[in-house]
């Protein structure tokens, strides 16, 4: 049996510098992007299925579809901003390179989510409560984000503006990612809901910034349970 | 050698930006128009929450803010430079201002899809305004950074008085920019 399918994740995880070089090579960008998209879809599907297993039933495939969708929506919306920041901080990246590197970082994060999916599933199986699952999923995302950051740091390089470039990328990704996830919620579902809705549209929970700054606290209804 | 275009990726090392700007040809009018059009994309996204008319108003107001800011702040900056004992190279200043507008426009255009997502999906208009301020602030700050990098090649730019000028000008342009967009953008309670 050929080991070729394993080379892509192995390179992303063990040789990030080489992975970045490959994504800056125009001839290899299309193939890398295909594999990255596949990895994002697979990692997100399995992690989403684990998240959805808290409620079980139809929530498993729904959450499995929503997680990769949220990741891809975030990357698609953030990529032009990444390109703008890269240019402003003196990185000579074309838009294709920027997109390719962003996909690579997303794929690396998805591999970590793939690895953490059984951990989350086991915790749910052992009876961890709703709040605990939310925390575990958040920690899993934080670890996945750190892994993606590792690849990003290789791409950004050591020249002047490294910290500012990285911080701007991370800031934009966090804001867009949080809003995309907020838009597609619920993933876990509120334990008080008899049936988890497909989307939490119509529920006023204050939004991302509203939750942080406490805008419109009086108008809020019951939560979506994220 | 082909002319540098707005769409070309910038130079590889930020440290060499100053040299690159000083060697560059004078900015073409279309490059400035394109830079302002790029920033208009951010305005379009910012106004998307309130319909087509609001999009058009915000799309006009964001680049207009840059034009007004440039017209009001750059002469003041020149006077400050002269007082601080920094040589006044009009060519370098023009190129640096153009580069600053291009960088700001490109960053804002890049942030436009994210702004659109936030404008359309945020629950409260206050949240959209917060993100709008953040985006405009970030674009302007990176533009200002490009302006200062472009002037690094000037002699006496590293003097303490020049450093003081940079700090003062940064504060002044931040306040002025905030006031201009406050007056121009309906999102922040300005003219509609």
For chain B, the structural domain boundaries read 26-188
Q: Do B131 and A209 touch (CB under 8 A)?
A: yes
Q: Contacts for B75-84 with beta carbons within 8 Å, 24 or more apart? A: B76/B169, B76/B172, B77/B165, B77/B169, B80/B165, B80/B168, B80/B169, B81/B162, B81/B165, B84/B159, B84/B161, B84/B162, B84/B164, B84/B165
pLDDT of residue A22: 92
Q: Which residues of B touch A168 (CB under 8 A)?
A: 138
* B131/A92 Cβ within 8 A: no
Residue B113 with chain A: CB contacts under 8 Å: 76-78, 80-81
Distance, CA of B63 to CA of B46 (rounded, Å): 13
DSSP state of B98: H
**Higher local confidence (pLDDT), B100 or A2:** B100
Cα–Cα nearest to B45, from B106, B124, B102, B113? B113
Check CB contact under 8 Å for B127 and A161: no
What totals of helices (H) and strands (E) does chain A contain, helices first? 8, 0
The stretches in chain A having pLDDT less than 70 are 1-5, 201-226
Question: What pLDDT score does B1 carry?
Answer: 34
Place of tokens 């003097």: B159
Q: For chain B, say whether A28 makes contact (Cβ under 8 Å).
A: no
Q: Peptide bond preceding A186: is omega within 30 degrees of 0, i.e. cis?
A: yes
Residue of A183, A209, A216, A223 best to disrupt the B interface, most CBs of B under 10 A: A209
Residue A165 sits at the chain B interface (C-beta within 8 Å): no
Of the candidates A83, A89, A206, the beta carbon closest to that of B14 is on A89
**Residue A126 gets which letter from DSSP?**
T
Contacts of A21 (CB under 8 A, 6+ apart): none
* B180 near A CB under 8 A: no
Domain boundaries, chain A: 4-189
Please determine, for residue B136, whether its predicted confidence score (pLDDT) is greater than 60: yes
Q: Could you give the ipTM of this predicted complex?
A: 0.78
Q: Quick one: pLDDT at residue A170?
A: 92
Distance of alpha carbon A27 from alpha carbon A11, whole angstroms: 18
Distance of CA A173 to CAs A120, A139, B30, B170, Å? 24, 17, 32, 27
Q: A-B interface: how many C-beta pairs under 8 angstroms?
A: 112
Residue B122 to chain A, least CA–CA distance (Å): 6
pLDDT of residue B28 exceeding 90? no
Contacts of A131 (CB under 8 A, 6+ apart): none
The pLDDT value given to residue B4: 42
Q: Which residues of A touch B106 (CB under 8 A)?
A: 84, 87-88
Q: How far apart are CA B177 and CA B174, in angstroms?
A: 5
Partners of residue A179 in chain B, C-beta under 8 Å: 117-118, 121-122
How is residue B117 written in tokens? 């997502």
B120 touches chain A (CB under 8 A): no
B129 CB neighbours in chain A (<8 A) are none
Write out chain A residues lying below 8 Å of B118, CB-based: 175-176, 179
pLDDT number for residue A140: 93
Q: What's the pLDDT band for B71 if we cut at 50, 70, 90? A: very high
Tell me whether B141 touches chain A (CB under 8 Å). Answer: no
Cα distances (Å, whole numbers) of residue B93 to A25, B65, B96: 37, 20, 5
**Chain A residues close to B123, C-beta within 8 Å:** 204-207, 210, 216
Record the tokens describing residue A96, joined without a space.
């294709």
Please tell me whether residue A211 adopts helix, strand or coil conformation. helix
Backbone φ and ψ of B153, nearest 5°: -75, -15
Q: Does A132 touch chain B (CB under 8 A)?
A: no
pLDDT at A203: 65
Q: Which residue of B has its CA nearest to A164?
A: B142
Between B1 and A51, name the one with better pLDDT. Answer: A51
pLDDT digits (tens, 9 = 90+) for B170-191: 999 999 999 999 999 988 876 5
Distance CA B116, CA B111 (A): 9
Q: What is the pLDDT of residue A193?
A: 76
Rounded Cα gap, residues A124 and A138, in angstroms = 14
- Could you tell me what percent of chain B has a pLDDT over 70? 85
The pLDDT of B23-51, averaged and rounded, is 86
Phi/psi of residue A161, nearest 5 degrees:
90, 10
Mean pLDDT for all residues in chain B: 84
CA dihedral A26, A170, B97, B181 (to 10 degrees): 130
Spatial distance between the Cα atoms of A211 and A216, rounded to a whole number of angstroms: 9
- The residues, any chain, with a CB within 8 Å of residue B177's CB and separated by 6 or more, are B65, B69, B136, B140
Contacts of B127 in chain A (CB under 8 A): 207-210, 215
How far, in Å, CA of A93 to CA of B35, rounded? 19
With CA atoms as reference, the chain A residue closest to B144 would be: A88
Q: How many other C-beta atoms can be found within 10 angstroms of the C-beta atom of residue B164?
A: 12
The pLDDT of residue A204: 64
What pLDDT sits at residue A7?
A: 78
Nearest to A215 among B108, B127, B142 (CB): B127
Given CB atoms, is B19 within the 8 Å cutoff of chain A?
no
Distance from CA of A54 to the nearest CA of B (A): 27
CB A71 within 8 A of CB A106: yes
Q: Do B109 and A80 touch (CB under 8 A)?
A: yes
Alpha carbon distances (Å) from A120 to A72, A89, A133, A144: 22, 38, 8, 14
Q: State the Cα–Cα distance between residues A135 and A141, nearest whole angstrom.
A: 10
Instruction: List CB contacts of B175: < 8 A, sequence separation 6 or more.
Output: none
């Amino acid at each position: 049996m050929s080991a070729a399918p394993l080379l892509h994740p192995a390179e992303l995880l063990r040789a990030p510098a080489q992975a970045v070089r490959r994504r800056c090579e125009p001839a290899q960008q299309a193939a890398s992007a295909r594999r990255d998209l596949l990895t994002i879809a697979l990692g997100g599907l399995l992690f989403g299925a684990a998240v959805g297993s808290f409620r079980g039933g139809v929530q498993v495939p729904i959450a499995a579809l929503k997680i990769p969708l949220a990741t891809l929506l975030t990357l698609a919306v953030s990529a032009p901003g990444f390109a703008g920041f890269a240019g402003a901080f003196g990185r000579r990246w074309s838009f294709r390179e920027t997109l390719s590197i962003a996909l690579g970082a997303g794929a690396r994060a998805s591999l970590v989510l793939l690895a953490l999916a059984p951990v989350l599933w086991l915790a749910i199986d052992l009876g961890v409560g709703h709040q605990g699952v939310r925390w575990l999923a958040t920690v899993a995302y934080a670890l996945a984000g750190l892994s993606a950051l590792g690849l990003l740091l290789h791409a950004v390089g050591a020249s002047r503006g490294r910290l500012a470039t990285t911080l701007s990328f991370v800031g934009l990704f966090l804001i867009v990612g949080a809003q995309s996830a907020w838009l597609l919620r619920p993933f876990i579902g509120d334990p008080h809901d008899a049936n988890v809705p497909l989307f939490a549209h119509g529920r006023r929970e204050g939004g991302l910034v509203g939750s942080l700054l406490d805008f419109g606290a009086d108008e809020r209804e019951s939560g979506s349970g994220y | 050698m082909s002319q540098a275009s707005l769409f070309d990726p910038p130079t590889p090392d930020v440290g060499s930006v100053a040299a690159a700007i000083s060697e560059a040809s004078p900015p073409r009018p279309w490059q400035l128009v394109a830079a302002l059009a790029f920033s208009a994309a951010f305005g379009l996204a910012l106004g998307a929450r309130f319909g087509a008319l609001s999009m058009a108003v915000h799309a006009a107001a964001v680049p207009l803010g840059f034009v007004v800011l440039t017209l009001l702040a750059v002469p003041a900056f020149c006077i400050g430079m002269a007082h601080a004992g920094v040589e006044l190279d009009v060519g370098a200043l023009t190129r640096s201002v153009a580069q600053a507008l291009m960088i700001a426009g490109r960053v804002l255009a890049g942030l436009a899809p994210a702004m659109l997502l936030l404008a359309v999906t945020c629950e409260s208009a206050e949240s959209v305004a917060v993100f709008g301020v953040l985006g405009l602030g970030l674009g302007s700050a990176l533009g200002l950074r490009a302006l200062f990098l472009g002037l690094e090649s000037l002699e006496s730019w590293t003097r303490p008085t020049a450093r003081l000028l940079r700090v003062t000008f940064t504060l002044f342009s931040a306040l002025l920019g905030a006031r201009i967009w406050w007056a121009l953008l309906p999102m922040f309670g300005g003219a509609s």
